[in-house]
Structure 1
Amino acid sequence: MATKKDMRRPDLVVPYVDPPEKQANADMSSTMSSTLPMAAMFTRNKMIAWASVTFALQNWMAETPDQKAASTPGYMNVFMALMSVIVTYMPLFLPPAPKVGAKAPTASPVPSS
C-alpha cells in the first residue's frame, strides 16, 4: 500500500486566485436624499424640506447605471422630497381644527368709569 501511484496530473493544476472583493457602496448623497424628506415631514421644517429637494435632484442627475440597479431610483427620492415640501406647507392651506375641549379666548372685562 505504501507504493501507491500519484494520480494527479501537473498539466491540469489550476492555481488559486482570490475573488475580487465587493466594494461596500457607502453612497452618502443617496442616504441624505432618502432620509432628509422623512426628517422634514417629522419636524415640519420647511428649510429641511427644500434641502431634501436639492439633494434628491442632485442625486438623480448624478446617478450612475450601477446605482440605478442597486438602490431606489432617483425619481422616487425626488418624489419623496416634493411630498415633504407639500407636507410642511400643508398647515398654510389646511389649518388645524381647534381642539374640542379648549376654551375660546374671551374679551377682557372693560372697567366702567
Structure 2
Amino acid sequence: MASKKDMRRADLVIPYVDPPKQNSDADMSGAMSSTMPMAAMFTRNRMIGWVSLVFSLQSWLAETPEQRKTANTPAYMSIFMSLMALIVTYLPLFLPPPAARSSATAAGSQAPSQ
C-alpha cells in the first residue's frame, strides 16, 4: 500500500505562465489579403479574386487596435484592392477584347493561287 501513496510534493509545483507575445510575429492573413488581389489581377482568375475578398474582409474585421497603429496601410485598402481585382477579372465579360485582326485578315485576304 505504500507504493500507491501520492509522491508529489506541493512545494515543488511550478505554475504555468503564458510566454509574452512578440511583436515580430508575422501576420499571415494580412500578407495573404494584400498579395492575393495582385495574383488575381495577374492571372485573371475569378476564384482567387473572390478568395482575396474574403481574406481581406476577415483581416479587416480581425484587426486589433495595435495593428491599426503599426500597420503601414489601413485594412480597408486591402478590401479596395480585392474589389479592384474582382472588377479586373470580370471586365472581359462586359468589355470583350478585340479579335485578333492579323490572323483573321491574313486568312481571308489571301489571293487565290492560280
**Normalising by the residue count of structure 2, what TM-score does the alignment of the two structures yield?**
0.69
Structure 2 unmatched ranges of 5 or more = 1-21, 109-114
> Quick check: which one's helix share is greater?
2
Partner of 1:92: 93
| Cα deviation, residue 76, structure 1 | 0.3
| Cα deviation, residue 92, structure 1 | 0.2
Task: Decide which structure has the larger Cα Rg and report it.
Answer: 1
| Cα deviation, residue 98, structure 1 | 1.7
Structure 1 unmatched ranges of 5 or more = 1-21, 107-113
State the number of aligned residues.
87
Q: Tell me, in whole angstroms, the C-alpha distance in 1 between the residues paired with 2:49 and 2:23.
A: 31
Mapping for residues 46-65 of structure 1, pairs under 5 Å: 46-65=46-65
Q: Tell me, in whole angstroms, the C-alpha distance in 2 between the residues paired with 1:97 and 1:68.
A: 44
Question: Residue type matched to 2:48 in 1?
Answer: I
Runs of 4+ residues deviating >3 angstroms: none
Partner of 1:79: 80
Mapping for residues 1-113 of structure 1, pairs under 5 Å: 23-71=23-71, 72-103=73-104
What secondary structure does 1:34 align onto?
Answer: helix
